[in-house]
Structure 1
């Protein structure tokens, strides 16, 4: 079951997570920044589509499979030109390139990223959150 978060709750979550991300450093800050962006994007998407909660979203995969996929949400909002393409990242221990939707897992589980990739990802999230502030 997905909790029925609404526009105002998602907007408040955006501000709460963003504020908390500014009060800490490192992976905790990055994780909160990611969640702030996710909540802000969802709030804007619901408002633009005149829906009250995420449970009203007609396409179930948008929440169940792509809930953390910021790239998909940006495409849904048609703001790719504004937000830019989300950067991919690599783990510090090597391996394949990963999509942004996996970033919150890396930060949540303290799995180190390639430092340059992480810096680019954080900068992209900060830019996205600055855009969200103007839209919310």
Structure 2
């Protein structure tokens, strides 16, 4: 079974649309609840992921899988420590930033692990690339970790706005 194909420009447009949707959703969130911002956080995570994947393809010419399959672009073999296709980065925002050589001064990458509060085992640990799962499943993220992850993603979005828009 083939996956749906999203091309480079789809990622660019999705970056903008998803970021805007998160901004529209933010004022509608009930801030009286303990985890008020998981919806906008999830959308911002996906916006950051789309924008970074767009830049990997546009700036570094890292191909998408369909381009390799369709033989429209050669595979990048210059650095074996990084995935050879955009999809290989999955949700690893930190790895994409490193590949794009974004300075730590521009986008500081917080160290984890991060934690959820309550629930399974009284809380769980996760890494940056798993944050979307915590938000997608509506898990309560430790408030300090939520703030650190929120700032990290806001920094990525600011960087992407400068690079894409």
Calculate the TM-score normalised by the size of structure 1.
0.86
Tell me the equivalent position of 2:7.
Answer: 6
2:35 is the counterpart of 1:34: no
2:115 is the counterpart of 1:90: yes
Change in CA separation of 1:120 and 1:42 when aligned onto 2, cut-off 3 Å: same
Structure with the bigger percentage of helix? 1
Change in CA separation of 1:87 and 1:36 when aligned onto 2, cut-off 3 Å: farther
- Deviation of 1:108 after TM superposition, in Å, equals 0.4
Please, which runs of 5 or more residues in structure 1 have no aligned partner? Answer: none
Tell me the equivalent position of 2:87.
Answer: 63
What CA distance in whole angstroms lies between the structure 2 residues aligned with 1:27 and 1:54? 30
My pick for the range that moved more, 107-116 or 88-97, is 88-97
Give me the CA root mean square deviation. Answer: 2.2
Tell me the equivalent position of 1:102.
Answer: 130
What CA distance in whole angstroms lies between the structure 1 residues aligned with 2:86 and 2:110? 17
What CA distance in whole angstroms lies between the structure 2 residues aligned with 1:33 and 1:95? 23
What CA distance in whole angstroms lies between the structure 2 residues aligned with 1:87 and 1:2? 32
What CA distance in whole angstroms lies between the structure 1 residues aligned with 2:12 and 2:86? 18
Tell me the equivalent position of 1:132.
Answer: 160
**Structure number with higher relative contact order (C-alpha < 8 Å, ≥ 6 residues apart):** 1
What CA distance in whole angstroms lies between the structure 2 residues aligned with 1:86 and 1:42? 20
Please, which runs of 5 or more residues in structure 2 have no aligned partner? Answer: 27-36, 69-74, 76-82
- Deviation of 1:124 after TM superposition, in Å, equals 1.2
SS of 2:10's equivalent in the other structure is: helix
